[in-house]
Structure 1
Amino acid sequence: MKTVIIKYNAGNVQSVMYALDRIGASYIYTDDESEIRSADKVIFPGVGEASTTMAYLRKTGLDKIIPSLKQPVFGTCVGMQLMCRFSEENDTTCMGIFDVDVKRFPATPGFKVPHMGWNNISDYKGALTEGLADQTYMYFVHSYAAGICDYTVASCDYVLPFSAMLHKDNFYAAQFHCEISGNAGQRIIENFLKI
């Protein structure tokens, strides 16, 4: 099986590689269109700011390549946000795979933004969460989140309920960092590779 990690202007890639190494999965780290299109699975990781990252995707053509892919694609954190329609982070038009906007957490007494640390996800369904215990904890670092929508397959509550995971056709996404969420996050990665 050929797994590609998309190479673009984002951090966090090394921890994704370590997570794949731990389960013995081989992968290629590339921005080459032919390599991406010929992959069995595609991982679109992310740490960064929406507008500069989206500008890089447009510059390289990845903004057109990613939405056109037919194999399973898994975006995480900013990768998930860029798969949405729009982000309030510097008024960024994103790829529009998921028809939902990404908004900043409102200032609320008693809640710090960014949302950073372990929080439980709930109401999950679908292939990626198979085998997870109810109310599993995952590791989050974000100031913006997608609202609950038709594509929500797991939710989290911080300030307000938001989409912890999204799914539409061959596209899967998680707001949290699977690669640093312990055994539960590892299980999600393993489940993705089995799709």
Structure 2
Amino acid sequence: MSGKPTGDGAHTVLTAFEILFRRHAASLRRHVRAAATRQVSPDDVVAETFLVAWRLRDRVPADPAQAEVWLLQTAWSVLARHDDALARDHALSRRLQGRLSGPDVADEVTYRWELRERLAMAAAALSRLSPPERETVKLYVIGHLSYAEIAAATGTPLNTVRARLVRGRRRLRGLAEQEAVRARWRRCGSS
């Protein structure tokens, strides 16, 4: 089956290749089907094998028995290339999986959303305190000042600072609970 398909010889070469295909395709398909993995289609391997045979038609032996051996060797090479490509794909997938997987963004979004809601509830509860209690609580919680430092900063007696913090915390607990209930009602109403 040598020669380029030109002129009258084109018909001869195509006929010879057609005979080769008809003679060996079914047998080749059975062998490939037995050896192929699930990820590789036996029909694709057979088609690619005959494509290689067409490209290398000068090397295909004319003897049918030798041609079948040549086609089987070519099919094994095609299968090996497919298996190598699959192995590379799996290795790349594993490498990329390690790079692409990171912390779950949904957890961070949920945390920030809940934190925002809690801060809004705390701000609403804090705004409902009396101005002296609000200022004392802010200096203690946000400013991290001690009782004595708050007393010095506000010019208020130490016992008054203590009393404002006790009253402020107690009121904040109650107000925070009320704000939490309101927030739940708002969420239920907006769903």
- Indicate whether the TM-score tops 0.5: no
Q: Greater helix share, 1 or 2?
A: 2
Larger strand proportion of the pair: 1
Greater C-alpha radius of gyration: 2
